[in-house]
Amino acid sequence: MLLLIKYVKCVLKNVIVGWASCILFSINVLFICPYLIAHSSMTSHTNLKTIIIDDFHPILLETLKANGLTFHYLPDISESEAIQALPHYDVAVVRSKVQFTAPLIDQLPQLKCIARGGAGMDNINEAYARLKNIVLLNAPEGNRDAVAEHAVGLMLALSNQIVKSNNEVKHMQWQREANRGFEIGNKTIGIIGFGNTGQALAQKLQGFGSQIISYDKYAPSQVSNVSAVSLAELQSKADIISLHVPLTSETKWMVDAHFLNQCQAGFTLINTSRGMVVKQSDVLTVLQSGHMQGFASDVLENENFDAYTPNEKSAFEILASLSQVVLTPHVAGWTQESYFKIGEVIAVKLLEFTTNLKKY
C-alpha cells in the first residue's frame, strides 16, 4: 500500500512539473519570442546608415534620436563631398544640394531611400530611382499652407498695387488714382494642379467669396465649392490663374506664348511652383502686348543671377522693371512654421519606412 502511495505521488509530481514546463514554454512562445523578434527587427532598422546633407529643423534630429535611429547630420557638407559620401549610406535626407541623376544613382547601390525636405522632387530622377528600388519620400504637407498663403499675398500685391504704390510713397509720390486696384472677391480664380498646395489655396480663398475652378490632369477636384474643369475652360474663364504643378518633362515650359494667348484678355498669372514651368520671355511679350494684366512669381527659370548670359540679364531687367510684375526669391514655402513642419513630416515618414522596411 505504501509503495502504491509513493508511486502515485511520483506520477502526480511528474505530471505537475510537466504542466508547469508546458505553461512556461507557452508563455515563452506567446510573449517572449514575439518581443525578441520585434526587438531584433527594431535593432535591424536602426542599423540603416543615414546621412542628412542639408539644413533641417532640430525636430527632425530629435525625433530620429528619440526613436533609436542613428544618422550623420552634415548640413554644411559641400556638393562634391556629399557625392563622395553617399555611396556609404542606405538613406539620404536632402533638400536641393545634390542632383540625383541616373549616373549618380548608379554609383549608389547601397541606397534604399531618398527623403526630400520639400514638395517637389525635381532634383531627383524619380523614374530611375524607382527602377533601382529606391523609396522616395517628400513633404508636401509641410509647406502647403506657407505656399498657399504666399500665393494669396501675390494676388493681393497685384490687385491692390501694393508693391508699386509702396515704392512711390517711399519716394514721396502720392498717386491714389494711378494705384486704383481691383478686388479678388468677385473674380474667378483658376488653380492648375490640385494637390496639397492647390487644395490649401482653395481653402484659403473661400473667405474672399471668389469663384474657384481647378484643373488637374491626374487628380480632379473633389472639394466642395471648387469646380473641376478642363484646361481650356479654365483658361477661358479665369481672371487669375495660380500654378501649383511639379516640374516634370510634361510641365516644363507648359505656360508658353500659346498657353498665355489662350487665356482670357486681362488675366493675371501667379506662379509659386517652379520657374521652368513658365517661359519668361513669352510672359514678357504677352504682358507688353496688353493681353495679360499682371504677373507675380516666387520662382524664376534661372535663379542663379551670376550665371546669366547678357541676353538673359537684359530680358530679366525689362521684366523686373514692369510695374505689373511682382517677384520674390523662392520663399513661398520658406516660413518658420514650414521649417518645423517639413522636418516633422520627414521624420514621421522615415520612421514608417524603417519600421516597415520589408513592405517596401
- Residues annotated catalytic, as ranges: 274, 303, 330
Are 288 and 122 in contact by the 8 Å Cβ rule? The answer is: no
- Calculate helix-pair angle for 58-66, 336-355, nearest 10 degrees: 30
- Give the DSSP H or E segment for 256: none
- Give the cell for residue 68: 533609436
Give CA torsion, residues 221, 222, 228, 231, to 10 deg: 20
Those residues whose C-beta lies under 8 Å from the C-beta of residue 20, and which sit 6 or more positions away, are: none
Angle at 284 between CA 283 and CA 287, to 5 degrees: 80
Cα torsion 99, 105, 111, 112: sign: positive
DSSP string over 48-117: S-EEE-S---HHHHHHHHHTT---EE-TT--HHHHHHHGGG-SEEEESSSS-B-HHHHHT-TT--EEEES
Task: Report the C-alpha gap between 150 and 337 in whole angstroms.
Answer: 13
